[in-house]
Chain A
């Protein structure tokens, strides 16, 4: 196979991956606190100065995915157990194993043992990094202030939901269940965020923009067709060359 076929193959493989990522975003267009992820591509020019046929041939190469960290729309739910962050900050959740995960999903409930947890059962961490316990007689009416302080009906302070800062250059990996964790082997100390507000009775909707994803999907499909066209065009060329050269022997 000639270099042309490999170029179109590299394009079609990456476009499939691109479609997978776009579809994942669309599937999560109603997932609370979801952050869209996008693949990054770059051209890859092999260093083969000796081979004339491959000079200047640029393959498509996927170099990674990044997370779109823009704020999703805040939707009012009215439920006292729904919290959302406005501004720069993350909720932190204890995991059974490994370091705490980060999420913008504040869809909370009280667990059987009285801790404030997500619907998937991850305990939310207070500003000092411990799970937040809610005494049973206070489960009814909680009020959560903009600083994350939880108080009972009679004004007793029960704890403070922590809103933590994740540095802009910090690598975050999605691990599902709306959680993000720092890259493997990296330590991310819990550091309180100063410019974020906690809003009770709101949840942050997914930041997926459906129109953007739909147009991306159209682009991907056309690029894929282009790659297929390139392969079949190249095939035609080879066939014609064989036929014509064959005629003169």
Chain B
């Protein structure tokens, strides 16, 4: 199974995953240049692996939650590639990639809950609660979320995976080695692969904005006589 995965919920990341093996990968530390770097990254990753887009079995897009503009760059890229190549398109919640990394990195205790949190800017974090799988299994189970809110509002006494822990060390109990981690397309692709193998359904590519636009309906004009 050959999957192209994209996640732009934090950094811009692209990966080519063959079965469970990551055969190509791109990551940019810059969280504000997704529209610039993403297409060259896709072209580069495919060219380096000698793979044509039409050979892909599916494209996997991280659907967030994440800052709007970057998230959209990834989603419109994934949707357009899927259309142009006539390749299947699936979504995976971006925080799932970090949860997968935590389990793969033995940073969680089997059968116990942990939190995943990323930077939502404006003093808030995107977060979700997961249960680590039993010994030997790879996929954690989402038990709550995703949500957006202040770090101080997360359920306490659970270890936190992801950049949110590094940003708000007073409020969150970070797991060493995972306090600056962002969702990565390589892990996202492996999550999708594991789920597809297990015959589980993936998401569509609807974005998880979690916040409304800031637009406000203007009130009526004050009359001079009022």
A and B interact physically: no
